[in-house]
Amino acid sequence: MFRLAHISDVHLGPLPGVTYRELASKRVVGYVNWQRNRRRHMHDAVIDTIVADMKASGPDHLAVTGDLVNLALDGEIEMAKHWLETLGPPEDVSVVPGNHDAYVPGAFDKVCRSWAAWMSGDGVTAPIDRNTFPYLRVRGNVALIGVSTARATAPFMANGFFLEGQAQRLASVLDATAKRGLLRVIMIHHPPVRGAVTQQKRLFGISRFHKTVHRHGAELVLHGHSHLPSLFFIGGRGTRIPVVGVAAAGQSPGGKNPAAQYNLLDMDGEKGSWRIRLTRRGLTGPAIPPSDLQVVELGVDAEASKPLVKS
């Protein structure tokens, strides 16, 4: 059995010092949002509690599906690198970037340089950039495939983009890993599901993503961005590919979104008969250690087409 832990939308704080020059961009909107909302509800103590419980569960690998930072300031990117080092060695932690990690032009390139060890495929030593996604890591009989939808957008927009070039590369990776008989897990920030988030936050290229996984196959998709512990299924002609979201890892209880959670996915079996068991663990109240909120056998629960947990 392979145990994969999944967290997302960490939004590490507090913000480092911000200059007026740095705020002369889309960052001013994010800065105001942080001061009014995120600062009160996103807490490092919550993240520390979630991470400690997650490590105690003994995962074989950890997937982090984006939004490690808030405004993509240089100090935030460096702080996130140090935080990733505390999670585990790069070979045991896989990261894909979110829209906040590419908040302004140029930030994505800085993130690729700083977090390269956690966002590169097996055996890859070349510099990481937009064209190196998706990347592939194989652990046991599991293929971990990291897709990037992160791109700088206009103020008040948080869209993601899945374009044709990456779709073609993803198709090749899916075909190659299918031939090896691997369980294929796609990690992506924006949910590739219509209606999962509002229009200004949605993914452009959902149809392209659906066509790619329908034609070439996948067993599981993990995402963030919505800050919701959701479960959808996509596919056609008898295929049911689970698409799993998670609450924000730093969300304290009492906010409008569910309190911090992480997903545990226990996977075993073989090609044609994979078994995936999803367990959600998270906070249920102030100062309460994480507890099991839900256990679902993916591919078995026929009613699991809507968000299942709104704690």
CA distance 144 to 125: 18
Largest CA distance in the chain: 56
Q: Is residue 306 part of a domain?
A: no
Q: Is residue 36 part of a domain?
A: yes
CA distance 279 to 277: 7
Domain count, the chain: 1
CA distance 16 to 127: 27
Give pLDDT tens digits for 6-29: 999 999 875 555 544 554 455 544
Q: Is residue 307 part of a domain?
A: no
Residue 176: what pLDDT? 98
Question: Lowest mean pLDDT: which of 161-170, 180-189, 263-272?
Answer: 263-272
Residue 195: what pLDDT? 94
Residue 44: name the closest of 70, 18, 17, 5 by CA.
Answer: 70
pLDDT bracket for residue 237 (50, 70, 90): low
Span 110-116, mean pLDDT? Answer: 97
pLDDT bracket for residue 256 (50, 70, 90): confident
Q: Is residue 146 part of a domain?
A: yes
The pLDDT mean for the chain works out to 87
Span 239-248, mean pLDDT? Answer: 93
User: What percentage of residues in the chain have a pLDDT greater than 70?
Assistant: 84
CA distance 65 to 209: 17
Give pLDDT tens digits for 134-178: 999 999 999 999 999 999 998 888 999 999 999 999 999 999 999
Residue 42: name the closest of 100, 102, 105 by CA.
Answer: 100
pLDDT bracket for residue 72 (50, 70, 90): confident
Q: Is residue 308 part of a domain?
A: no
Residue 266 maps to which CATH number?
A: 3.60.21.10
Residue 250: what pLDDT? 87
Q: Is residue 270 part of a domain?
A: yes
Contacts of 297 (CB under 8 A, 6+ apart): 275, 276, 277, 278
Q: Is residue 93 part of a domain?
A: yes
Q: Above 90 in pLDDT, residue 266?
A: yes
Q: Above 80 in pLDDT, residue 130?
A: yes
CA distance 246 to 6: 8
Q: Give the predicted TM-score (pTM) of the model.
A: 0.88
Residue 275: what pLDDT? 94
Span 210-223, mean pLDDT? Answer: 96
Span 109-131, mean pLDDT? Answer: 96
Give pLDDT tens digits for 44-60: 688 989 999 999 999 99
Span 54-80, mean pLDDT? Answer: 94
Domain span holding position 292: 2-298
Q: Is residue 112 part of a domain?
A: yes
Contacts of 46 (CB under 8 A, 6+ apart): 249, 250, 251, 252, 259, 260, 283
pLDDT bracket for residue 106 (50, 70, 90): very high
